[in-house]
């Protein structure tokens, strides 16, 4: 893998600023730094707060873990990220915000997108009167077969 060029960094910065603007968020230094790590290369990501904190540190971006958590929550509130809870103690933050299923590799602790046709719903879920479906989360839990 090649090292990022000055043009790559400029493109990442532009993508990050545009992404923040699309959510109506002010581009603070911390938000821009984290947004560049999340969307700067144009690929979808699934991160935990801890993994993003580590990536920021590796990139020389001094942000606290509390700032990472607060920023991820702000990104979710702005509709820029989707939070995917895989168990009561672990959440991933997904840059792809449309409805889609996920694979969670239990033995590796890794979340990835599953193809939309990996799951079929028989129809709209029945909900109580006065309610509407906000979101349907589908997580397909996987583990490696023992040989």
Read off the CATH number of the domain in which 49 is found.
1.10.10.10
Pull the structure tokens for residue 117. Answer: 């046709």
In a domain, 1, yes or no: no
Query: Residue 46's beta-bridge partner residues?
Result: 94
Q: What is the extent of the structural domain holding 12? A: 6-142
Q: Is the pLDDT of residue 8 over 80?
A: no
- Tell which residue, 89, 128, 111, has the closest CA to residue 138: 111
Domains held by the chain: number: 1
In a domain, 91, yes or no: yes
DSSP letters, 39-89, are HTTS---EE-HHHHHHHHHHTT----HHHHHHHHHHHHHTTS-EEEEEETT
Q: Is the pLDDT of residue 138 over 70?
A: yes
In a domain, 110, yes or no: yes
pLDDT tens column, 51-99: 999 999 999 998 999 999 999 999 999 999 999 999 888 899 999 999 8
In a domain, 19, yes or no: yes
Instruction: State mean pLDDT over 115-123.
Output: 87
Percent share of the chain, pLDDT over 90? 67
In a domain, 75, yes or no: yes
| Residue 56: C-alpha distances to residues 21, 63, 65, 81, 123 (Å) | 21, 7, 10, 18, 42
d(C-alpha 7, C-alpha 90), whole Å: 36
In a domain, 23, yes or no: yes
Return all residues near 65 (Cβ < 8 A) that are at least 6 apart. Answer: 49, 50, 53
Q: Report the 10 Å Cβ neighbour count for 76.
A: 17
d(C-alpha 82, C-alpha 111), whole Å: 13
């Amino acid at each position: 893998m090649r090292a990022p060029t000055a043009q790559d960094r400029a493109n990442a910065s532009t993508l990050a600023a545009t992404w923040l603007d699309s959510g109506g968020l002010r581009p603070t230094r911390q938000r821009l730094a984290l947004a560049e790590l999340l969307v700067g290369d144009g690929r979808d990501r699934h991160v935990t707060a801890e993994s993003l904190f580590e990536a920021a540190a590796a990139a020389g971006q001094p942000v606290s873990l509390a700032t990472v958590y607060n920023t991820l929550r702000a990104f979710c509130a702005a509709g820029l990220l989707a939070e995917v809870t895989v168990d009561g103690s672990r959440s991933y933050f997904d840059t792809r915000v449309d409805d889609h299923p996920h694979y969670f590799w239990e033995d590796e602790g890794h979340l990835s997108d599953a193809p939309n046709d990996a799951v079929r719903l028989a129809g709209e879920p029945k909900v109580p009167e006065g309610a509407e479906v906000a979101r349907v989360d589908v997580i397909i839990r996987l583990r490696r077969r023992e040989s």
